Amino acid sequence: MAAEIDQSVKRRRVFYIPGYDPIHPRRYRELYRKESGDQARISGYEIGLKPKTTKGIYGWVVDAEIDGAQVNAQVEVLVWSDIVRVSMHNSILATYAQLIRTAWVYIASGALWRLMQLRKGPVIAALYPVGMLLLQLAVAVLIGALAYAALTYFGGPFWTRGLAAAVSVVVGWAVLSGFKKRDGRFYAHYLMHDFAYGAALRGANPPALEARMTQFGTAIAEALKSDVDEVLVVGHSSGAHLGVSVLADLVRAGAVPDKGPKLGFLTLGQVVPMVSFLRDAHRLRADLRYLSQRDELTWIDVTAPGDGCSFALCDPVAVSGVAPENQKWPLVFSAAFTQSLSPARWKELRWRFFHLHFQYLCAFDAPKDYDYFQITAGPKTLAERYADRPASKSRIVKPVNKFTSVTP
C-alpha cells in the first residue's frame, strides 16, 4: 500500500507584487523558470513551466511534483511597471530637484535618523543615489571647468569668455547625459526615482497607484471565490507594503470567504519603514495595524541580514509604532543567506547588492526552511508550512517611528 501523501494543496493561485521596477513582467517568468529548475535539481523534486492560456493578468502555469505530491499553480504578476516608467520620465534637472526634495523630506522630518536605528544597510542604499548623483555633478562641473580653462588659455582671441563658458556648460551637460545613459551600471537615477516616489506625497499613495491597487484587490477577490486550495500573495521589496494595503482592504470588505481557499501573504525583502516612517503614511500605518491582528490570513515576513537593501528582521508593524496588544502577524524570520548559500556562492554574491535583494526568488545551495518554489508550488499551505516555526530571536520590534497616527 502506497504511503499516504501529506497534501493540502493541489491547486494554487499565486499573485506576485513586484517592487519599484520598470521592466516587463516576463523578467519574473524567466527568473522563475531558471531558478526553479536549479532548485529542483538541488532539492530533488520536479517542476516545470508552461504558458498561461487564459486572458487577463500576465502570468504562467507551474506543474510540480514535490514530496510525491502533484501540484498545479497559476502565477500572475500584478503589474504596476507602467506607473513606474511614467515616474521615471524625468529630465536630469528634474532628477536633481527630486534629490533635494526627497532629502529634505527624510532629513527635516527626522525619519532618516530613526531609520538608521533599525538597519544602516537600506539607509546607505537610500543615500547612495544622493552621493552618486552629487559625484556625477561634481565630475561634470570639473570637466566643464577644465574645458573653459583650456579654451580661454589656448583658444586665442576667437574664444571670448562668454563663448567659452557656453561651450563648457555644453560639455558638462554632455557628461551628465552620459552618466544617465549608463545608469544601468550606476543605478543612481533609478534609485533616486524609487525613493522619491514614496517621498513625493510623504508616504501617501498617488491616485494612479491607488487605482491600480484596487484592480489588484479585485483580481485577488475573484481568485478567493474559485475552487483552488490556496491563494498566495507575494509582495517583494516595495511590493510588500502595497500588498499590506491591498489585503487590508479585502479583509475589511469581507472579501475573504470563511470556507474558501486559504489566504497566505508572503513579504520578501520588505522596505516598509521607508514609507511608514513618513508623516502622511496614515493609510499604510492603519493597514499594518489592522492586518497584524486578523485571522483571515497567514502573514510570513522573510528577510536576511545579507540583503543590505531590506530592513532585515525588522517587524514592520512593531517598528512603525502601530502594533496592537493582540498582534498576531507577521511571523518574522531570516532566509539566512550565509547558511543557505555555499561559501563559494556567498563569496561570489557578497557585494552584488541587487542580486541579493532578489535572492529570495532564487535557488539556494542548501535551503533551510525557506524555499520559494516549495512555497509557491508545494503541497502545503503557507500556514501549514510555518505552523511550528518560531520567529527569529534577533528580530527587531522596538518602535522608533516618530509618526504613528493612523488617521490624517
pLDDT digits (tens, 9 = 90+) for 54-92: 888 999 999 999 999 999 999 999 999 999 999 998 899
Q: What is the CA radius of gyration of the chain?
A: 24
Residue 102 and residue 196 in contact, taking contact as beta carbons nearer than 8 Å: yes
CB 220 within 8 A of CB 227: no
What is the C-alpha separation between 211 and 206, in angstroms, rounded?
Answer: 9
Could you tell me the pTM of the whole model?
Answer: 0.95
Location of C-alpha cell 535557488: 363
pLDDT value for 1: 35
Q: Judge whether residue 158 has pLDDT over 80.
A: no
Q: Label residue 67 left, alpha or beta by phi (over 0 means left) and psi (-120 to 50 means alpha).
A: left
Given this model, what pLDDT does residue 243 score?
98
Q: CA 195 from chain center: how many Å?
A: 12
The three cell numbers locating residue 177: 547625459
Predicted local confidence at residue 151, as pLDDT: 83
Q: Please state, in angstroms and rounded to a whole number, the distance separating the CA atoms of residues 265 and 319.
A: 19
Total residues belonging to the chain: 408
Asked if 266 contacts 233 with a C-beta cutoff of 8 angstroms, the reply is yes
Contact 213, 221 (CB under 8 A): no
Assigned C-alpha cell, 215? 484592480
